[in-house]
Every structure is written in structure tokens, then in C-alpha cells.
């Protein structure tokens, strides 16, 4: 298989933008050996189309790129596609949710169930919760899959 390069990703994104008649551009950077190693920043007047409804269209585009690049779910961190800094803002919101959930679980001694989210966001949340020492797991199926934070200390393996 031909390597999925900066040019390949750019070509894919521009074909999608053209086919959907979206007024968007993208800047793509490579960071060999880093995570992510391929980063695309999308901007333009039609950015809200990508970020509406919890970024459904952005996630769909990213999913296509994952499949084309043949990335396994545990490799999804290697590629980042963002639009209008949505991912950065969402990650900050997830970190804040994680802090509030840890405080609540420690105060109440009861598990905390986060809202359902994508596998990428669940993984981010699991990692953000790791420093708390509390156990996490994912529960549910498909689009209803969510992270649970438990009051007992980590001892059991975190499941994603």
C-alpha cells in the first residue's frame, strides 16, 4: 500500500470539499515520530458545516482518513483533523469535565457516567482521568458508548 502522506491527505480533503461544494481550505503538517504525525487544520467560511451537531461531519471525514490510512482504533492518535480549533476547544472542555467528575466521585463515593462520545473522545477522557488514580471503563454500544469513572482506586485495568 502506498504511504498516506501529507499530499494524499490534502488531495482527499480537497476532493471532499469540492464534492460537497464547501468553501474550505486546509493546512497540513507532518511531524515524523510525533503523535499525531499528520495534522490538518481546516478553515474557511463553511467551517460551521463541519463542526455542527458535535462535529459529525468532521468526525466522518476523519473516519474516512483513518480507514484509508488503515489505522487501528488504538492508532487514531496518529492523525488529527481539526476545523476552527473545534478539537482543541473540545479537549479543553473534556479536561474540565474530567476535573469536575473526579471531584464529584471523591465527594460522593459514587460512579460518574459521562455522556456518550466518540472513541477518540473516550480515549482522550480515559487518559485525562488517569492521573486521578481512579478506575475508568467504557460502557454501552455504538453511539451510546460512554466513559464511567469509579470511586475505587485504580487496581483493575482501564478498558477503552
Which grid cell is 154? 485504580
Give the burial class of 142: count Cβ atoms within 10 A of its Cβ; 0-12 exposed, 13-18 middle, 19 or more buried: exposed
Quick one: average pLDDT of 112-120? 91
Mean pLDDT for the stretch of residues 92-114: 97
Statement to judge: residues 44 and 97 lie in one domain: no
Strand partners, 79: 38
**What is the predicted pLDDT for the residue at 70?**
87
Quickly state the pLDDT bin for 3 (edges 50, 70, 90).
Answer: low
Q: How confident is the model at residue 96 (pLDDT cuts 50, 70, 90)?
A: very high
**Vertex 116 angle, CA 114 and 130, to 5°:** 45
For residue 41, what is the domain's CATH number?
Answer: 3.30.300.20
- Single residue among 33, 57, 84 that ends a domain in this structure: 84
Which helix (DSSP H) or strand (DSSP E) does residue 89 occupy? helix 86-108
Give residue 70's domain range: 6-84
**CATH number, residue 110:** 3.30.1370.50
pLDDT of residue 118: 84
Of 56, 84, 112, the one marking the end of a domain is 84
pLDDT of 74 above 50: yes
Q: Is residue 18 pLDDT above 50, yes or no?
A: yes
Q: Is residue 67 part of a domain?
A: yes
Question: What does the mean pLDDT of the chain come to?
Answer: 90
Amino acid at each position: 500500500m502506498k504511504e498516506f502522506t501529507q499530499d494524499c491527505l490534502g488531495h482527499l480533503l480537497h476532493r471532499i470539499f469540492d464534492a460537497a461544494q464547501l468553501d474550505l481550505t486546509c493546512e497540513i503538517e507532518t511531524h515524523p515520530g510525533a503523535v499525531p504525525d499528520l495534522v490538518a487544520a481546516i478553515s474557511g467560511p463553511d467551517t460551521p458545516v463541519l463542526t455542527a451537531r458535535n462535529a459529525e461531519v468532521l468526525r466522518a471525514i476523519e473516519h474516512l482518513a483513518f480507514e484509508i490510512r488503515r489505522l487501528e482504533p488504538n492508532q487514531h492518535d496518529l492523525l488529527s483533523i481539526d476545523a476552527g480549533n473545534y478539537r482543541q476547544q473540545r479537549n479543553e472542555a473534556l479536561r474540565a469535565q474530567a476535573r469536575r467528575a473526579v471531584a464529584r466521585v471523591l465527594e460522593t463515593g459514587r460512579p460518574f457516567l459521562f455522556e456518550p462520545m466518540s472513541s477518540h473522545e473516550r480515549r482522550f477522557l480515559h487518559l485525562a482521568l488517569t492521573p486521578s488514580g481512579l478506575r475508568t471503563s467504557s460502557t454501552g454500544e455504538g453511539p451510546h458508548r460512554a466513559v464511567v469513572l469509579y470511586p475505587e482506586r485504580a487496581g483493575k485495568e482501564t478498558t477503552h
